[in-house]
Structures are given as C-alpha cells and as structure tokens.
Structure 1
Amino acid sequence: MTSIGSETATAELPELDPALMRTVLGHFATGVVAITGIDPETAAPTGLAANSFTSVSLEPPLIAFCVGATSSSWPKVRAAGHYTVNILSEAQEPVCRQLAARGADKFRGLDWQPSPAGAPILAGSLAWIEAELEAEHPAGDHTIVVSRVRHLYASDLAPLIFFRGRYGFAEPGAVR
C-alpha cells in the first residue's frame, strides 16, 4: 500500500514463479545445519537438515531457523524440549542428505553424543548449539523457529556450504 495524500492506493504485484525464486535465492551461499533431538515417544534420536539458519540476538541469546510447514520431523524435535543445531562441516554432506530424506531411520549409522540436556551432537560437526523453543511464526509454506541458546561449542573444521543447489566447502583460512 502506498499513501497518496488522503487516498490509499494498492498496487497489484505480479505473481512470482516459485522455480525462479528458488533459482535466484540459490545464489545466496549458506551454511547447512542439522537440528536434532530425542523423540520423547520413542526415546530415539531424530532430526532434520536446514540451510535457513541465523543468529537473532546476543541479549538474550537467540537463534532462528526455518522448517517446512509439512515437516514430520520438526514436531518430534520440538517435543524433545531441548534440541541441538549442529553446524555441519565439509565432511558431513552424507549426514545432511540422510537427515534431509523423508521417512526411514535418519540416524542409522550416525555417530553422536548427548549435549548437556541430552540432545544429539553429531560427530564431526563444525559447531553445535543447544537450544529450546522461544517462539514459532507461521510464514507461508514454512515456520520460523526462534530458539533460546543454552550451550554452544565451535571447532576449527571447514564448513559445509550450499550454493546453487550444490554442496561445497570453504577453507577457514581462505576467507578474508
């Protein structure tokens, strides 16, 4: 809406092609995270992969990530109470693909240890952040999840990067 004097004009925006939007936004290189928890119904580890992750606030310590509104894994992770956002390293592309797949045993063959509150920390992660739900905001076909940070750790490994629909990595010393 645009205000013109005392009148209000509404401009019709053209409908965007979702495929074009995916292509254009794919030009933004992102890191990749795995959000993991212990499903309270089965006591088994569960999780999902995402590349929409960001820091929100230092005071209070908040992070955010987006999950698909139809995700069957996020309700299980949410129900855990505490979960871990594992920032994946260059060697973890197979881990990412496994956690991104629908159904199946997502943790089959994955090595992990418990965070202070018991959420899975994936072996070989670049960093991990233990958090709990602060707020959820519906946003189109996704949900924006804001989380309060409880514990965190980082290593010196190289990150897994997602760019134009492909995985890659950046050497930590090569970034200026």
Structure 2
Amino acid sequence: MVLLHSPLGTAADWGSLPHDLAERGAEVVVAEVTDDDRPPYASRYVARAALEIAAADPAGPLLLVASGAAGPLLPAIAAAQRAAHRAVAGYVLVDALVPQPGTPTRAELSAAQQHLDPPVRPPGFFTEPLPMTADWPDAPCGYLRTGDAYAHPARLAELRSWPVRHTAGRPLAEELLALAAEL
C-alpha cells in the first residue's frame, strides 16, 4: 500500500496511519514529496512519487492511496508505475478530488466538485494543466471520506459505482483496510 500525501501538505499529514496499518499487517510505503515547489508542480510531484516508490521497492501489486490534491494525480502516478513494470491492484482516494477527464486544472476540478483548497500555493499551482491518462482507471477504485468537506467528490465516486466508506468515528486504518478488501 502506497500512501500519497496531498501536494498541499506533507507525509506527516497521514499522522499515525502508516503505523496503524503496519500494526494490522499491511506493508506500507509513505511517499514523501517535498520538491514540487515550482512549475511544473504536478509533473514534479508525479516524478518524485515514482522515485519514492521505486526506492522502497514494495511487493506488488500496489494499492495507491491518495489524499486531497494528490487524487487528480493518481492516473499519472499509475502510468509511471506501469512504465516501471509495477502492477497497480487498485486506487483509494481519501478526502480527495476525483480525477476527471476534460478538467485539466486543479481550479477546474475544485469548481466542478464544489471544493476549494486554501490558497497556500502560487496561483499557477491551481491553474497549470494536470497530466491526464486516457486509460484510467485501469484497476478498481474506492473512496474513503473522513468528514463532510469532501461529500461532493464522494458522491461522484458513488455515481461511478465505486465503493465509498465514511469513517464516522471509526479508526481510519480499519476503514482503509476494509475498503481495500472490497476492491
């Protein structure tokens, strides 16, 4: 299982989740992307995430778990894994925007999915074209919601017939593993 933090935060935003998952027997790789601070932001994030995954050399196939603004980058991250001959078994979005073809910027995705991220990055971060992959999703997808801020993207996931879970006070690690088992 590969945890991909939001480009608006750091791997520390996962809190105790990596430890909690490992305690429950999951192999966990936490990608730490810190060098996506200048254009092209999305491509830098994807490249660094791919390098982090390669360095960890996890047993495959991979479950890619993206949080927040990393959600729209899942198709490109998956394409990088396939190019490196690493199979992807599935995708989980945790309080994340859902990748959509035809909406090539974070600003457009945020508007379409009724979610606004705080402007903690330069305007170009939100308006640069995102890398898109025509054949995504190529594996089962699920959505995990921890609160109400991402209710609209969770509804989009439901409309795509993806399994959607809400933590509703239950441990995040348990809900994530349960969702992974559904995929």
Give me the TM-score of the superposition, normalised by structure 2: 0.25
Q: Which has the higher helix share?
A: 2
Normalized per residue, the structure richer in strand is 1
> Which has the greater radius of gyration?
1
